[in-house]
Structure 1
Amino acid sequence: MSQQEVALVTGGSSGIGRATCEALLAQGRTVVNLDYNKPDWSHEKLVFFQADLTKEAETQAVAKEITSTYAVSALVNNAGATRPGTIDTSTMADLDYVVGLHFKASIILIQAALPALRASGHGRIVNVSSRAALGKPDRIVYSATKAGLIGLTRTLAMELGGDQITVNAVAPGPIATELFRKSNPEGAPQTKRIIDSIVVKRLGTADDVARATMFFLSPDNGFVTGQVLYVCGGTTLGVAPV
């Protein structure tokens, strides 16, 4: 294994994942972007691996390849998909897809990276959940798996704290990514309703989420673990427990 420490980010080609990669690169870190889609941007310290993280065997293979080459000291499980639907319309195919992407891929990558995370003495894991974990209409399989990531985060934090590995989650609210804009075009009535419901009266940005993620990834922040930080402009006020 190379002794070069790297940060591994899933879904780093665009949106929140890209912003997180760019923030890590700005610190001078080497970053591995693991995504199904090739990035349309580059950096001298950015390494790209391509895989469909909904496929278990493919994920196992790429996880082995990455961790046999790089010492992963920071892991951000960011890749995700919404698969909108209610209990009446959601299918088992929808469920299998998001479970594979949100749960299986995260666990496979964590297991593969654990030796290096432990050896680093300052391992960091951040799981990207969602404000939808608290409940959101038409997101039955998405909200369930994003809530499950919070349970995974809390249990992992308890298991890995003795190895000086912290495990935390960020839970974005309405973020103006390309995916969000496809469903909520700028100026559309539904987009205005969403903005009006946000306490700070604006959509979040990918950089807003990346900054929160970077707090958890800092080697200096080893006394914060098992926590969930809602990056939501205040939309969880009156909903999330104190």
Structure 2
Amino acid sequence: MSTTEQRVAVVTGGARGIGAATALRLAADGNKVAVIDLDEAACQSTVQAVKDAGGTALAVGADVSDSAQVEAAVERVVAELGAPTVLVNNAGVLRDNLLFKMSEGDWDTVLNVHLRGSFLMTRACQKHMVDAGYGRVVNLSSSSALGNRGQANYAAAKAGLQGFTKTLAKELGKFGITANSVAPGFVVTDMTAQTAERVGMGFEEFQAAAASQIPVQRVGRPEDIANAVAFFASPDAGFVSGQVLYVAGGPLN
């Protein structure tokens, strides 16, 4: 693929974990990648890894829940890399607590980053996809969308993203744009380490306990999720839209 044919992909929450692995995979697949995270400096390790592998990447600092910052971020991507036609809404935070202990701030923060952030990023990028007659939107949901103790805010946000995905698929399909969702099960990231700390378990013990309940008998790695995102983000997935793919090592029902 020549440079002139390279598509531009945007990955939010790309500084670490699933976002970083996804940015690397999309770059390996031939995309130029904009890595967006709250702290631009934190994106540099991902950007450098892409460049070291021969790819093109740009670090952009932005709060995805802030419309002005989102618009500015996307404008910068357009100016420095080109118009984005692939968007991976991965940015997320945890504010876990049981319902009776959960503050309004903890509820709002989680819903704002996951849901409002995905809405704002998609709204800002879709105009470029419509103009190109081609687009791929991939939203990161979670197995927690099915309900998870201590995560009323997170579960609601991740379930909401599935409805958002299906609506995007219906609205944007006629413009050559697909929208799909990847819902990870247990994946080793900083966020799952936080969960282990919350429940008072060592992270290794927490992973072993999780693996024992997963049919393939191991926990997920960020690369497992990146592989699934890469399919949805590829030209090959043009007849797949509005789907939710659980990547969890086995069925969850």
Aligned twin of 2:215: 199
State the aligned residue count: 235
Residue 64 of structure 1, CA deviation: 3.8
Query: Which of 127, 139, 145 does residue 133 from structure 1 map onto?
Result: 145
- Aligned to 1:224, the other structure's residue is in SS state coil
Normalised to the residue count of structure 1, the TM-score between the two structures is 0.90
Residue 109 of structure 1, CA deviation: 1.3
Moved more, 86-95 or 177-186: 177-186
CA distance in structure 2 between the partners assigned to 1:235 and 1:218 by the alignment: 25
Contact 2:96 2:151 in 1 (8 A): yes
**Which residue type is aligned with residue 229 of structure 1?**
L
**Which residue type is aligned with residue 52 of structure 1?**
D
Aligned twin of 2:72: 61
Cα distance change of structure 1 residues 200 and 4 upon mapping to structure 2, 3 Å threshold: closer
Say whether residues 1:49 and 2:60 are aligned partners: yes
Q: Which runs of 5+ in 2 are unaligned?
A: 197-201
How do 1:1-242 residues align onto structure 2 when only pairs under 5 Å count?
Answer: 5-37=7-39, 38-39=42-43, 40-41=45-46, 42=48, 43-44=50-51, 45-67=56-78, 70-184=82-196, 185-188=202-205, 190-234=206-250, 236=252, 238=253
Normalised to the residue count of structure 2, the TM-score between the two structures is 0.86
Residue 23 of structure 1, CA deviation: 0.5
CA distance in structure 1 between the partners assigned to 2:10 and 2:239 by the alignment: 22
Residue 231 of structure 1, CA deviation: 0.5
- Aligned to 1:23, the other structure's residue is in SS state helix
**Which residue type is aligned with residue 62 of structure 2?**
A
- Aligned to 2:99, the other structure's residue is in SS state coil
CA distance in structure 2 between the partners assigned to 1:134 and 1:167 by the alignment: 20
Q: Which runs of 5+ in 1 are unaligned?
A: none
More helix as a share of residues: 2
Contact 1:63 1:108 in 2 (8 A): no
CA distance in structure 1 between the partners assigned to 2:69 and 2:131 by the alignment: 26
**Which residue type is aligned with residue 31 of structure 2?**
R
Moved more, 92-101 or 145-154: 92-101
- Aligned to 1:220, the other structure's residue is in SS state helix
- Aligned to 2:113, the other structure's residue is in SS state helix
CA RMSD of aligned residues (A): 1.9
CA distance in structure 1 between the partners assigned to 2:226 and 2:5 by the alignment: 26
Contact 2:6 2:30 in 1 (8 A): no
- Aligned to 2:204, the other structure's residue is in SS state coil
- Give per-residue Cα distances to partners, 1:114-144, cap 9 Å, x unaligned: 1211122220000000000001111010000
Contact 1:168 1:225 in 2 (8 A): yes
CA distance in structure 1 between the partners assigned to 2:164 and 2:92 by the alignment: 16
- Give per-residue Cα distances to partners, 1:146-202, cap 9 Å, x unaligned: 0000000011101111111000000000001133234434432x4332221111111
**Which residue type is aligned with residue 155 of structure 2?**
S
CA distance in structure 1 between the partners assigned to 2:213 and 2:186 by the alignment: 10
- Aligned to 1:230, the other structure's residue is in SS state strand
Cα distance change of structure 1 residues 3 and 219 upon mapping to structure 2, 3 Å threshold: closer
State, as a whole percentage, how many aligned pairs show the same letter. Answer: 38
